[in-house]
Amino acid sequence: MTETAEDTGTTGRQAGPDASRHVAAEVSRRRTFAVIAHPDAGKSTLTEALALHARVITEAGAVHGKSGRRATVSDWMEMEKARGISVSSTALQFTYKPAGSPEDDDPYVINLVDTPGHADFSEDTYRVLTAVDAAVMLIDAAKGLEPQTLKLFRVCKHNGLPIITVINKWDRPGQAPLELLDEITEQIGLVPTPLFMPVGIAGDYRGLLRRGDDGAPEEYIHFTRTAGGSTIAPEEHYDPATAAEREGDVWETAVEESELLSAMGQDHDQELYLAGETSPVIFASAMLNFGVHQILDALVELAPPPHAWDTVSGVPRETSDPFSAVVFKVQAGMDAAHRDRLAFMRVVSGEFERGMVVTHAQSAKPFTTKYALTVFGRDRTTVETAYPGDVVGLVNATALAPGDTLYTGKKVQFPPIPQFAPEHFAVVRAQSLGKYKQFRKAIDQLAAEGVVQVLRNDIRGDANPVMAAVGPMQFEVVTARMKTEFNVEVVVDNLPYSIARRTDAASADELGRQRGVEVFQRTDGELLALFGDKWRLQYISKEMEHLTIEPLVADT
Ligand code: G4P
């Protein structure tokens, strides 16, 4: 018989010192992170490179469907099939043991949670960042910081996530290292503290100088290209004197730059990194597998393991407490034949065992976890046990929505996930008035599920709600689900707004009278003012300082 947490405080294993020691050991070897990047910076290539360097537990194949690699396009909706969007790669789990660690040490368990970033960019992308403990900010060496990276950075900052920066594509011509580092400081106020300096300019990447105290070189790691970058790049390690002899000027330049950075105080400081003020930097080429070991080493050495989470009661949930988890993403209709609904939870505390009966905090109802999976591309693997930091997909989770809490033992509830700044707006209405009742029910359900935010105002009336989304694909998801699940054909008319700001009742009327501005109430009661463009927003904010116009999370 499977014992539930009500009996034991964990599952299977009796509660007690042994169980909590076991969970503590699993927690200390876990790292759960996401990669934030603008499309094409190399996120998929890096994911594959990380998997190549590690023992992949849940998937041995390729990550995405670019040319020459195995496609992992999900088959849940024709719409997505046509576009080649992979919606089902949610978390990749792998183990990693840094070189030189004692043989009988357990390897680290790394959870890489995917942030959908191309056309499937949506509020889910932001929500993922509430379910991880750290982030890797991946930057294209030639392009520097790009808009989507900036948005995701803001969410990381809001969530207090420590960030490791990876400057990718160093094998190609790009900007000078110090220029790129300056750009990071200037644009986002994060102080970059390189762990290594690149040896060789962008385009002629030979290896890395490991920075020691005061920027003095500790060693030189030289990389050798392999055919097509498809295997781990061999590394040779040299002392600084040999490096100087071998590389000459490019080595000297790296030493000078390293010392200059130290003089500016840009050395790694673990406390400041954990506080989100500084960011260790690694120059890499995901394609050639250069610097990838170093990224993994930095993750296990510097990134924090899962830690206690805030709860609505104010008492933090310790990782050693009985099982609890937070739902951060729900996917409906992934399998057209079964119309299933998959909810992804991140374990916050205790040990999860498949089959255990947990309580859904929002409905106070029991939930059986018989069908617990990891989902990666087309592959679904049953999960038997999971620990804090791990991601588990629950099948047929019809009652679950992003932000919901699952727990065993005494009731616990995590704060809701905030609603992020939408940038796309469209009126949606039922094609036939006769379907109004179904339409109303459907739109409210889709809002509750977090598919889109729903806004209303008296002028447009109840029959013409406005959908607000982070990514425009969500409107197509709504249209498709309305038809297949609720049997309602809808008409969608895009609105010419691109910015939302929070306002209040005292400011709403006056704001609503301004040209190019419209005020709505969101289903959670928040009042949002929509603006056509940033110039209008700037003008009104400046001219009418007495009005409340506040940014939302992830606002640009
Ligand atoms: P994404 O998931 O962030 O969108 O990026 P992805 O990995 O798909 O990489 C985007 C393009 O950049 C790909 O080229 C990829 O090969 C290339 N790339 C990634 N990392 C590196 C790197 O370290 N160095 C160089 N030189 N290129 C890199 P593509 O031509 O669009 O696709 P593909 O046909 O090569 O797959």
pLDDT tens digits for range 488-532: 999 999 999 999 999 999 999 999 999 999 999 999 999 999 999
Question: How confident is the model over 430-471, as pLDDT tens digits?
Answer: 999 899 999 999 999 899 889 999 999 999 998 999 999 999
Residue 286, ligand 1, Cβ within 6 A: yes
Q: Which atom of ligand 1 is nearest to the CA of 45?
A: 7
Q: Which atom of ligand 1 is nearest to the CA of 47?
A: 7
Query: Could you tell which of 40, 72, 223 is best to mutate to test the pocket of ligand 1, judged by most ligand atoms within 8 Å of the CB?
Result: 40
From 403, 402, 519, select the one nearest 468 (Cα to Cα).
519
The order of strands in the sheet holding 527-531 is: 490-494, 424-430, 466-469, 453-456, 517-522, 527-531, 499-503
Question: How confident is the model over 342-394, as pLDDT tens digits?
Answer: 889 999 999 999 889 999 999 999 998 887 776 555 556 678 899 999 999 88
Residues making up the annotated binding site for GTP are 114-118
pLDDT at 266 over 70: yes
User: 535 in helix, strand or coil?
Assistant: helix
Q: Which atom of ligand 1 is nearest to the CA of 168?
A: 23
Residue 172, ligand 1, Cβ within 6 A: yes
Hey, how many other C-beta atoms are within 10 angstroms of the C-beta on 534?
12
Model ipTM value: 0.97
Which residue has a Cα nearest atom 31 of ligand 1?
40
**Is the distance from CB of 303 to CB of 164 less than 8 angstroms?**
yes
pLDDT at 232 over 90: no
Residue 234, ligand 1, Cβ within 6 A: no
Q: Which atom of ligand 1 is nearest to the CA of 118?
A: 4
User: 229 in helix, strand or coil?
Assistant: helix
Q: How far is the CA of 302 from the centre of ligand 1 (A)?
A: 27
Alpha helices in 373-525 (DSSP H): 436-448, 473-486, 505-512
Q: How far is the CA of 67 from the centre of ligand 1 (A)?
A: 10
Alpha helices in 229-278 (DSSP H): 240-247, 249-263, 270-274
Residue 230, ligand 1, Cβ within 6 A: no
Query: Could you tell which of 72, 225, 287, 288 is best to mutate to test the pocket of ligand 1, judged by most ligand atoms within 8 Å of the CB?
Result: 287
